[in-house]
Structure 1
Amino acid sequence: MADQQHQERCAFFLKRKQRFCKLIPGPGKKFCGEHANFAPEDETGAGRKRVNCPLDPNHTCYEDQLKKHLKKCNSRQKPSPLYIQRGVNSGLSCGQCKEEDAKISHHSMSTEELMSFVERVRTAYKGSVLDIPEAVLSHQGMKAMLEDPDNGASALKHLKQQASLIGHLDHLDLLKSDVCFIEFGAGRGRLSHYVQMCLPEQAASHFIVIDRANTKHKFDKNIRRGEKGPDFERLKVDIEDLNLGLVPSMAEHKGPVAAISKHLCGAATDLTLRCLIETLHCKSSRNSSKEVFTSSSTSETASRQHPVSDNIAQESNTTEKQLVDGPASPIIRDTEENRDDLEDGRQKEVSTARTDNSSPPSKRLKEEDAQKTSQVECILIALCCHHRCTWTSYVGKGFFTSIGFTEEDFHLLRSMSSWATCGFARGQTKNAGGNEEEVKENSEEEGEEEKYEQSKAAAIWTVEEREEIGRQCKRLLDQGRLWYLQQCDFNTQLVHYVEPDVSLENIAIVATRKKPTTTT
């Protein structure tokens, strides 16, 4: 029986995998369609020749069927949906070309220059960043999974992070009907799956998961639950190119929107914030996100004039009840003046970002329909990989200018942010139970740390001091993101959403839309 099954398999031997191809060939053939070009002429048929597909040379087809094959080949270029607009969230101005980010590192600095720059970092940190409270939450719906004895150390750490993020959503009164949950950098969509599990049974919600990569073992079916689950869609698109306001389901959704992500790496966080603020029409007309403070003499005032939150805790041991005052605030309706401003911006954006209209007519969304999309009620993002931030995409340029920092200083901060996990890179916490995000980030930073150990700066600070400097660099980068959201009528704060022994990247941005002021 085993020999018969082996004979039914393709006869092509895969050298790299040291086994035969597992595909089943057609009747009377020894090779499958993928490897049919290796078959002898008597098998392929007299006069028939197989050629490489011009769209993808990794597969072949019969030469006399090439024209027919090109019409149905999976590698053919398909019309892009209207919501894909190249570089719409890149941060580039109209007409600018994307350039490779400058490679500026603290390794090029002398000891004196490095010490002077660190003092500037410490001064800016003290003047701009408030105490970050601990807000380690959980949710009853995650209790059974957290207590599962079959969980390994790594799985348990991820579950604790996901449970805390879901606890924050519950605290903001967002685990209810009519909420659209958008997960950025979703990967398999596990966080959305757990959010769906914790929703009330009859909650009519909507889920959108966004990732640019094809991922195996996705949780999409778990979220859908056949016909019993919520409305669900997966968008395979780079966040840099995503115009959320032109996603058809967003035009139909009238309820609040909650944007979530667990460990959104580097520049992806800035792309996400710009995507939410500038393509979903929730930017305030009176507070431009591109505002820049040009006077260095006002740096201290600029860093203090936008409080991190209306009710932010002043002590690091603040309890979870002090996180946000009450449930999520109601949606602010656009005024006619706001809509006119947004329409003008939309027309300019579409004309520069997309010149074709290749989507099928039934799939196109009219521009005026995009103006009626709902607004972001909450942004909850667990941060990581600050060394992957880029100046072009960074949303906090105005904040950096206000505290007297430049683009070159940004690159130095980005480089030094890896110091926050230098203890990990030394192998202090690298084990089988480590978080995959930390392994990914710190494996790339080990080369940086090796260079650092051989530099003059190694004699200046201890590992603990260097970790603290790295954390301050990260928080300054995050403060620029808070500044950006504050310009757009959001209450914002940073929280420690899990303990450091669960994840070294244990900071999350919590942003909620400000309640509209009533005039009497």
Structure 2
Amino acid sequence: MVATTVPRCVTRAPPPVGEAEDREESAASPDRCQFWLPNKRRLCANTPLPFSRFCGNHDPDAGSRRIPCPIDPSHSVSEDNLQSHVKKCPFRKQALALESQPYYSKGINGSPDDDYVDSSAKRNTILQLSAKDFHTLLEKVKSIHSAISVVLLDSYVIPDACRAWLKQQHLDRKLPYQEKHAMQQASIVGNIEVTGILQKPNESTEPFYQEIEGRDHFGRDESQVPAVVEFGAGRGYLTQMLTDCYGLSKVCLIERKSYKLKADRSLRQSQNIILERLRIDIEDLNLKEVNLLKGLQYIAIGKHLCGPATDLTISCCLNGQSEQNKETHSSIPNLQGLALATCCHHLCQWKHYANKKFLLSLGITKEEFHAMTWFTSWAVDADHSSEHADMLFNATNIGTLEEKQSDFVVGSVDDAIRSMPALDRARLGFMCKEIIDTGRLFWLREHGMEAQLVKYVPLRISPENHLLIAKCCG
């Protein structure tokens, strides 16, 4: 285990206007740690140590170094007390309960043999290049983007069922999220319908609620109605829209973090829906062992699957699918199609990327891949609010980028980056995003799926607007 030092007490700049009053009010409670948490605008709520103003986490006089807890790194522990803490860590019981589940298989969808490279390390690697090598790397990205002929179709589709649902939610004041998020979810659902992954119930068929064995409340054969598995589900709003508009009754939500489960409560109130939420990292999920999905077809969905979560989701789905094709075992879930909105490409990792073979065939090394992922952050840094944003940030319009790179041969890489206009940096970022997602697209096609990569919303709604949509053949 590699120990990482966690700062105990940091000297901070004077608080901004308004924060000083908050700090004085909080300090009126001497029975709490006096360490100020700027993000929460309050003092730490822990009880201070005897004869100290601070708790054990923030006491500057603590003798031993603090390191992240190996069970749950969201909190830290004194290195001297590590062994005793692991035995009584409040998260230990939760971790043991997860490990006992049949669907838990450590690292089944990942590649544990390689190291994680954070954004700081990626940036430092780029800044250590010579100006000439940096210029060569940009030229290589541009050349590869042109060679693979990336063409992303605009597919902003809001189906009638979702329009009616959104209107009703607005009238009932039950829409707890911003309109731009609702539009993204509706377009994902619309692309699922347009691609033919899911058929909407016949509008002429009125829902009925007679209990007929083997039939859902639309009178459909339950064996022909797929389940839905949402990866990186968060609060579950995408699934809520899909189930409400298309009458799906079996739902599995996958999320490693804890959220306020507002959509879950709404879904559970329906007598027609069977819902299971699994708090697990996608990397460790053996989908074919989830009881709810055994013997069923399912649709995999995800909105803004950050960085490697997209690759892990693809691996998770295709692992079960390939085993089913080999064994033809009825208990293994059958993937019907998937719709994954990619996001946060700057977090992508070589160790997890689904189609390394594609990158290597283009001459992209592991180090260059990580550099490209760092460049992708430039695509979301610029202003995308304009109605003409899609035209301005079109990655194929790279004439200005080529003209100015002749200035990069001298000076530092940092100077070269600073001299690049924001529009050129954004275009380069989009090129890198498209190369990464194109590799994922080809990987799905190699596994026999009819797959597309589309822009499912305009840039003014979200610069993270790539959707991988794929339907299983046969």
Q: TM-score range by the shorter chain?
A: 0.5 to 0.7
Contact 2:197/2:337, CA 8 A, preserved across alignment: no
Contact 2:197/2:336, CA 8 A, preserved across alignment: no
| Corresponding residue for residue 273 of structure 1 | 314
**Larger RCO, structures 1/2 (Cα 8 Å, 6+ apart):** 1
Q: Secondary structure at the match of 1:404?
A: coil
Change (3 A) 1:233 1:401: same
| Corresponding residue for residue 113 of structure 1 | 133
The structure 1 residue matched to 2:304, chosen from 257, 263, 271, is: 263
The structure 1 residue matched to 2:159, chosen from 113, 122, 139, is: 139
Matches of 1:112 and 1:478, distance apart in 2? 28
| Corresponding residue for residue 104 of structure 1 | 122
| Corresponding residue for residue 243 of structure 1 | 286
Change (3 A) 1:406 1:196: same
What do the CA deviations read for 1:360-401 (whole angstroms, capped 9, x no partner)?
xxxxxxxxx6x6323212110111100000110111100001
Q: Secondary structure at the match of 1:423?
A: coil
Q: Secondary structure at the match of 2:363?
A: coil
Q: Secondary structure at the match of 1:281?
A: helix
The structure 2 residue matched to 1:164, chosen from 187, 190, 199, is: 187
Shift of 1:459: 5.7
Contact 2:150/2:438, CA 8 A, preserved across alignment: no
Unpaired runs of at least 5, structure 2: 1-28, 35-45, 51-70, 76-86, 202-221, 387-411
What do the CA deviations read for 1:110-132 (whole angstroms, capped 9, x no partner)?
22212211111111111114311
Q: Secondary structure at the match of 1:391?
A: coil
Change (3 A) 1:399 1:163: same
Shift of 1:509: 0.6
What do the CA deviations read for 1:177-209 (whole angstroms, capped 9, x no partner)?
521110000011111111111014xx5x31100
Matches of 2:91 and 2:422, distance apart in 1? 52
Matches of 1:496 and 1:166, distance apart in 2? 14
Shift of 1:499: 0.9
Shift of 1:471: 0.3
Q: Secondary structure at the match of 2:322?
A: coil
Q: Residue type of the partner of 1:401? A: L
Matches of 2:291 and 2:432, distance apart in 1? 39
1:187 aligns with 2:187: no
1:222 aligns with 2:269: no
Matches of 1:482 and 1:454, distance apart in 2? 32
1:436-475 → structure 2 map (5 Å cutoff): 455-458=414-417, 461-475=420-434
Shift of 1:151: 9.5
Contact 1:496/1:506, CA 8 A, preserved across alignment: yes
TM-score by length of 1: 0.59
What do the CA deviations read for 1:1-44 (whole angstroms, capped 9, x no partner)?
xxxxxxxxxxx986479xxxxxxxxxxxxxxxx99xx9xxxxxx
Change (3 A) 1:125 1:198: same
TM-score by length of 2: 0.65
Larger radius of gyration between Structure 1 and Structure 2: 1
1:90 aligns with 2:93: no
User: How many percent identity over aligned positions?
Assistant: 29
Matches of 2:176 and 2:292, distance apart in 1? 38
Shift of 1:221: 2.0
What do the CA deviations read for 1:42-62 (whole angstroms, capped 9, x no partner)?
xxxxxxxxxxxxx99x9xxxx
Q: Which runs of 4+ in 1 moved over 6 A?
A: 149-154
Contact 2:130/2:413, CA 8 A, preserved across alignment: no
Change (3 A) 1:194 1:112: same
Unpaired runs of at least 5, structure 1: 1-11, 18-33, 39-54, 59-69, 284-332, 341-368, 431-452, 516-520
CA RMSD of aligned residues (A): 3.5
Matches of 2:373 and 2:364, distance apart in 1? 13
| Corresponding residue for residue 381 of structure 1 | 340
Matches of 2:154 and 2:308, distance apart in 1? 25
The structure 2 residue matched to 1:206, chosen from 250, 261, 271, is: 250
